[in-house]
Homo-oligomer: A and B are copies of this chain.
Amino acid sequence: MRRRAMREEAEAVDVATLLPPIRDADDAISEAFLAAVEAGLAEGPSDELRARLRDLHEADMGDLLEALPAEARVRLVETLGADFDFTALTELDETDRVGLLSHLPPLMVAEGIRTLESDDAVYILEDLDADDKAAILAHIPAPERVALQRSLDYPEESAGRRMQTDFIAVPPFWTVGRVLDYVQQTDDLPETFYEVFVVDPAYHLMGAVPLDRLLRTKRSVLVTAVKTERVQVVKASEDQEEVARTFERYNLVSAPVVDDAGRLVGVMTIDDVVDVIQEEADEDLRALAGVGSDEELSDTVAYTAKSRLPWLVVNLGTAFLAASIIDLFAVSIEKMVALAVLMPIVASMGGNAGNQTMTVAVRALATRDLGSHNARRIVLREVLVGLANGLALACLLGLIAALWFGNWQLGGVIACALVINMLAAGLFGILIPLTVHYFRQDPAVASGVFVTTVTDTVGFFAFLGLASLWFHLG
Q: Which residues of A contact B (CB under 8 A)?
A: 24, 26-29, 31, 34, 57, 59, 66-67, 180, 183-184, 189, 192-194, 210-212, 214-218, 245, 247-251, 253, 270-271, 273-275, 277-278, 281-282, 284-286, 288-291, 295, 297, 300-302, 304-305, 308-309, 311-313, 315-316, 319-320, 322-323, 326-327, 330, 333-334, 337-338, 340-345, 347-349, 352-353, 355-356, 358-360, 363-364, 367-374, 378, 381, 384-385, 388-389, 392-393, 396-397, 400, 452, 456
Bound CA span A326–B290, Å:
28
Closest Cβ of chain B to A312, distance in Å, is 6
User: Assembly of this chain: how many copies?
Assistant: 2
Known contacts A211-B215, A277-B277, A288-B289, then 10 further A-B pairs from the complex at CB < 8 Å, ordered by chain A residue: A26-B368, A67-B373, A183-B212, A189-B212, A270-B271, A284-B285, A286-B363, A302-B388, A308-B356, A320-B400
Closest chain B CB from A330 CB (angstroms): 5
A68: min CB distance to chain B, Å: 9
Report which of B300, B388, B396 forms a contact with A316, defined as CB distance below 8 A.
Answer: B396
CA–CA, A249 and B66, complex, Å: 14
Q: Could you tell me if A344 and B373 are in contact, using CB atoms closer than 8 angstroms?
A: no
Partner among B211, B309, B371 whose Cβ is within 8 Å of the Cβ of A211:
B211
When distances are taken between beta carbons in the complex, the residues of chain B under 8 Å from A389 are 305, 308-309, 312
Complex Cα–Cα for A84 and B273 (A)? 30
Q: Which residues of B contact A305 (CB under 8 A)?
A: 384-385, 388-389, 392
Residue numbers in B under 8 Å from A218 (CB-CB): 184
CB-CB nearest in chain B for A382: B304
A274 touches B247 (CB 8 A): yes
